[in-house]
C-alpha cells in the first residue's frame, strides 16, 4: 500500500509546545496507508474483545448515547508536522472500558480498511484516549478518520487509528501495521521514537 502525502504549508517549530524535530502547521495534512474507507454510520460499530474472548459492542446510536467530552489537544505526526490545540468531541476510553473485565496489558486497535496499531492498555486509560467523531465542531470527515477514530494525542499520530472499529485486548504485544514495517512499537514524540531502536 502506498502513502498519500500531499504537500502542506508549515514553519519550523522550536516553541516549548513542540517535541524535538517537529514543524508547526496550520493545515491538517492527510496521511493514510491505503484508500479511504467510507463507512456509513448505520453500518458502523465498535467492539472491545478481551483476552478471554468476551466482547462488548456499541453501534453508532450507542456511542452517541454515551457521555461525550470536548477535547483540546496538540497532535504530532511522525512525518514531523505538529498541529496545536486541535478540538475534538468524543467518548473517553475510560467510559467504554469501565465495565470490561480484563487483565490484559496491551491493545491492538483495528480499523475499517484493515489498518492496525498496538498500544499499551495503560495508555488508553486515565483520560488519555478517546473515540472521537467530531473535529473543529463538525462531523469527522472520512479523510481524517470519520465517522470515528481513535485519539491518543500523547503518542505519534499513527497510533490514533483512523476509521477505528475495535480493540482486541491481549496479554502479549502484537505489533500493528506500521510497527511491523519498522516504526517504533510505542511512539513517544518527546523521545523521538519514530523507528524501531529509537
pLDDT in tens, the chain (198 residues): 333 333 333 444 444 579 999 999 988 888 777 788 999 999 999 999 999 999 999 999 999 999 999 999 999 999 999 999 999 999 999 999 999 999 999 999 999 999 999 999 999 999 999 999 999 999 999 999 999 999 999 999 999 999 999 999 999 999 999 999 999 999 999 999 999 988
Are the CB atoms for 116 and 176 separated by under 8 Å?
yes
- Give me the pLDDT at residue 160, please: 98
What is the structure's pLDDT at 34? 75
Domain 45-191 has CATH 3.40.50.150: no
Q: Where are the domains of the chain?
A: 45-191
173: CB partners within 8 A, 6+ apart:
105, 106, 118, 120, 185
pLDDT at position 33, please? 74
Q: Residue 43 CA to chain centroid, in angstroms?
A: 20
Tell whether pTM > 0.85: yes
pLDDT of residue 81: 95
C-alpha cell at 76: 504530532
Contacts of 9 (CB under 8 A, 6+ apart): 25, 26, 27
The neighbouring-strand residues paired with 71 are 88
Report phi then psi at 196, rounded to 5: -55, 130
pLDDT for 16:
55
Neighbours of 193 (CB within 10 A): 18
How many Cβ atoms from other residues are within 10 Å of residue 88's Cβ? 22
Amino acid at each position: 500500500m502506498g502513502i498519500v502525502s500531499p504537500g502542506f504549508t508549515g514553519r519550523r517549530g522550536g516553541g516549548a509546545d513542540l517535541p524535538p524535530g517537529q514543524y508547526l502547521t496550520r493545515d491538517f495534512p492527510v496521511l493514510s496507508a491505503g484508500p479511504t474507507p467510507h463507512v456509513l454510520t448505520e453500518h458502523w460499530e465498535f467492539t472491545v474483545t478481551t483476552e478471554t474472548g468476551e466482547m462488548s459492542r456499541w453501534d453508532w446510536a450507542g456511542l452517541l448515547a454515551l457521555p461525550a467530552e470536548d477535547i483540546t489537544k496538540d497532535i504530532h505526526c511522525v512525518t514531523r508536522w505538529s498541529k496545536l490545540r486541535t478540538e475534538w468531541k468524543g467518548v473517553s476510553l475510560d467510559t467504554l472500558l469501565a465495565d470490561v473485565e480484563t487483565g490484559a496489558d496491551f491493545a491492538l486497535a483495528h480499523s475499517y480498511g484493515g489498518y492496525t496499531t498496538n498500544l499499551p492498555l495503560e495508555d488508553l486509560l486515565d483520560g488519555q484516549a478517546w473515540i472521537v467523531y467530531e473535529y473543529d465542531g463538525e462531523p469527522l470527515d472520512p479523510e481524517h478518520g470519520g465517522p470515528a477514530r481513535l485519539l491518543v494525542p500523547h503518542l505519534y499520530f499513527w497510533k490514533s487509528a483512523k476509521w477505528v472499529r475495535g480493540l482486541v485486548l491481549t496479554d502479549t504485544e502484537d505489533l500493528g501495521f506500521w510497527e511491523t514495517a519498522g516504526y517504533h512499537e510505542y511512539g513517544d514524540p518527546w523521545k523521538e521514537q519514530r523507528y524501531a531502536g529509537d
